[in-house]
Amino acid sequence: MTAFTFKQFTIHARQGVHPVGTDGVLLGAWTEATAGKILDIGAGTGLIALMLAQKSYNSTIWAVEPDLPAFEQMQENIAASPWSDRIRTLCARAQELDCCNLPKFDLIVSNPPFYLEQVYASDPARRRARHADQLPPAELLRVVRDLLAPKGRFCCIAPPNTGSELLEWGALTGVYGTRRTKVYSKMGQDCVRYLLQFETDPMHFKQDELVIYEKTGGYTSAYKKLTAAYYLNLP
């Protein structure tokens, strides 16, 4: 079992469960805090749900994960956290949520399986966590549209090609991109991720960039500032 300790909680990941990754940390730190009802689709070990619970004191969070080993690990991580009374867990696929009698949500987040390349990961758990055949972009946006409150927001992280597809599908679905952060490992390299925010109001679109590493190898001041509330130490 691996463990990653943050300032206010710890994420354990037993063998066969996808551990803490940079994508999840980025999305949890980047997503603006909100009061009200929050839904985490594909919550994995509970990382993003716990990050949002830490920053949004008056929220109630539903963490949904279809993979049973990951779901059981998530339950343990949440139970050991300071916010177990505000996080509800559900073992279900996103496509099943319309049958779960859920409320409308002020914020929906997802670090989804959006890798569309043909070479699949060899480990079954990593493959389930990484590939979009489990949850195609159009299907995710349909679920988001049905569960999002009128003034709610949806935030996710995706590779650039899939992020562009999400923006296109969102406009067709009725949830429009309103914010995009292009993420780079190092300055001068290709963009590796889009952090995206969608709303039902298409009247504005903000764009910016984030570089994770300095050319010398350390973290940039921007990344340190973004994640300062969570990481114990950043070199």
Question: pLDDT tens for residues 188-233?
Answer: 999 999 999 999 988 899 999 999 999 988 999 999 999 999 999 8
Distance of alpha carbon 50 from alpha carbon 80, whole angstroms: 11
Closest CA to 28 of 195, 148, 216: 195
| Non-local CB neighbours of 120 within 8 Å, separated by 6+ positions | 127, 131
**Residue pLDDT, tens place only, 99-136:** 788 999 999 999 987 644 433 344 554 444 443 346 78
Q: Which homologous superfamily is 2-176 in?
A: Vaccinia Virus protein VP39 (3.40.50.150)
> For the chain, what are the domain ranges?
2-176
Helix (H) or strand (E) holding 61: strand 59-64
Predicted local confidence at residue 119, as pLDDT: 39
Residues 105/52, Cβ–Cβ less than 8 Å: no
Residue type, 52: L
Q: How confident is the model at residue 68 (pLDDT cuts 50, 70, 90)?
A: very high
Q: How far apart are CA 52 and CA 24, in angstroms?
A: 11
Mean local confidence (pLDDT), 66-88 = 96
- What distance in Å separates the CA atoms of residue 224 and residue 222, rounded to the nearest whole number? 5
- According to the model, what pLDDT value does residue 114 have? 60
Question: What pLDDT score was predicted for residue 65?
Answer: 95
Indicate the range of 29-38, 67-76, 124-133, 147-156 predicted with least confidence: 124-133
87 and 63 in contact (C-beta within 8 Å)?
yes
Write out the E strands in 82-205.
87-90, 105-110, 148-158, 176-186, 191-199
**Model pLDDT, residue 28:** 98
Above 90 in pLDDT, residue 88?
Answer: yes
